[in-house]
Structure 1
Amino acid sequence: MSAPLQPALTRLRTMILDDETLVRAVASGRRRGTEPPWRRVELRYVDLKAGRHLQVTAYDDAQAHTTNHAVGEPARSALDGLLGHPFGNWHVDTTTETHQLRVTKKGEAVVHSRPRAAEQAIDRDHDRDKGRLLPEDDPVFRALGLSDHEGRMKPSRQGKYRQVEEFLRILDASITDALDKRHLRTPTAGEPLQIVDLGCGNAYLTFVTERYLSHVRGLPVYLTGIDQREQSRTHNEKIAGELGVDATFVAASIGAATPGVRPDVVLALHACDTASDDALAQAVDWEAPLILAAPCCHHDIAAQLRRQPTPGPYAMLTRDGILRERFADTLTDGLRASLLRLEGYRVDVMQFVGSQHTPRNTLLRGVRTGRRVDDGPARREYDELVEAWGVRPRLGDLLERA
């Protein structure tokens, strides 16, 4: 049930100012018709040479800005300033409880509180990684074999760690925006966000997604990972057991995927070639509110371009093999983005940091608006493009058969 906002914020203020029990507090999102100065703010206490301070890390779209405020009036003043900003969500972790406050459209507060199963330890080390969404000593990295037994990232895994961080920043912004604009429903413990990863492989990004959303953002989530290899299923179930994560892993092809729930977020990260098309088609068929897809290679359209005469005056784009391959990458993802828009998705195409296998790739982010386009300029533009280049995108065929 909703309640007056100011008394609810005052109760959170008391919890945050208790430097003996606060583990961490996070402010994010925005209230209807407002825009806070920061995309996200994290608060925790750190022990410095000058004594205990409230550390405030504020994130804009480019970087993190960290300030420290001595316990007492400086900390109270800094916190009151933040509470005065129109953030839409507050999440407060104490050693014994978790509290989630959401501001409704009417400007009231909906608060969910629950006790912790075990008392949470407090980290007041001010030297931990600055600006990292998940520190390298997080248990998820040890379970995945990325860090050693002392919690240090292995040198050979630094590239993967950077990939994880970049993905989490995109995920964080995407989830926040989708929740703010009501494209995603607000999850509860009884009805968590359903995260489905298609072609999950060894589920590196699947597990860090769960870890970040549940432990950092404080959002109830449930994982389903689908991969055609039985080896992946058994491996991922073992990791889930070690981490204490309640999840389902299925050995099946993407086309035969049946998660048993309506997915809220569909991931398709590094699905090779037309497997990305299979995943996108499934996500559209499920009417998934949020899609994050990062293809790792594009062979199908490239092969079609080799078999077709190049329309003039574009011969220079396909004459040399390396340029033809790069153009095929661009054409493939351009057509995918166009098809998703026709199916009622708002699509952003962005650069996504690659792994050692895919040093340069693209991420497609689709947010379902429900406004499907059956005719008009967008449809004609797509039809003219595929006709001019003589290609037949697999995603188009899959969506036509759906």
Structure 2
Amino acid sequence: MANTTGIDRKQFLAGALALGTVGALMPSGQATAKEQTVTGSCGRGLRRHGVVYTVGEGETPATAWSPSRMRADLRAIRDELHADTVEVTGDGVDRLTATAARAAELGLHVWLQPTLADVPERDILEHLAETGRFAERLRRQGASVDFSVGCEFWLFVPGIVPGATVLDRVENLLNGTYDPVKMRRRLDAFTKKAAALGRSVFHGNLGYAAAQDDEVDWHLFDIVGIDYYSYFPQPASYIRELHRYHRWGKPVAITEFGTCAYKGAEKTAGMGWNVVDHTKSPEEIKGHLIRSEHTQAAYLVHLLDVFESMGLYGAMAFEFLTRDAPHRADSPRYDLDMASYAITKTIKDRPDEPSSGWHWEPKEAFRALARHYGHRASVMRRRCSPGPK
């Protein structure tokens, strides 16, 4: 997980659409014994080009999750970003399932990934099971869906690393105040439990999103999922680092990749978010960062070229939107968007009012991804279309 505005992932939502009604969004379809094979494609390159869409509840009523905004965002992901895949992540079964159903209705491939945090293990597993059952319903109705049992369990699940909250665990990890042997044993045990539960409720392709340095028994899963935030000057170094994941003989998906919009952010190894002073009111950017949307865009496209060259299963840019990190063009000190991984910038109508309305605008990263995804889609259409009879 790249950011603690992705700790927006732990604040998550109050419900909107009930599980029982969401299924009606999907047309009925023929049940399949297994979702389409994850190998195989027309030619080389990434099979799936996507973006992470977090269904967080928002910090204020103004930024709360809403079905209407979600529907508009997903249409933009398909029609403007030209993505073919959306990673639906966060907590709240109602929000997860409503978003996944709408994405499937739009013809997007869905990587559905519950990430409930900071609650007892049994609650996390129950949340996982309920989301997985819905993923199976979508799959049986003909949707293209992979189900991930979660993300970086050591961060989200209490008891693996000391700390009551995600932020506490991050601090303990950074300070070294944890027992790595106990962490490994507890992480392995929970991962096995989650994988077994995922298998029991979902019969398509099962995955998990691990931090890139995690040691995971990938025999438990069909897809190797990696949250990837490395930086190297040369593409060959990325290829060498990523190649080790092929030893499992399974498709490799990059479940998160990206960086923030300031100079030097790409070199922070996934800690680019950690430049906000949360003790101040209003919160402000530490130091004297220089905004650079180009830095973010160039890093994303550079990594996409690497992933394409390796023929990976898919890559999901982190992330589409961070609603509670607004952009302030008039005040760099309060431009929280600089610390966001989002490829869009949140613009408040009245910047100093918490209840202000807002909209998003594309960043340079959005436009760069749209060009890349759009070009790749046109190439694949030509390559995969049937020839003349």
Q: Which TM-score applies when normalising by structure 2?
A: 0.30
Q: Which TM-score applies when normalising by structure 1?
A: 0.30
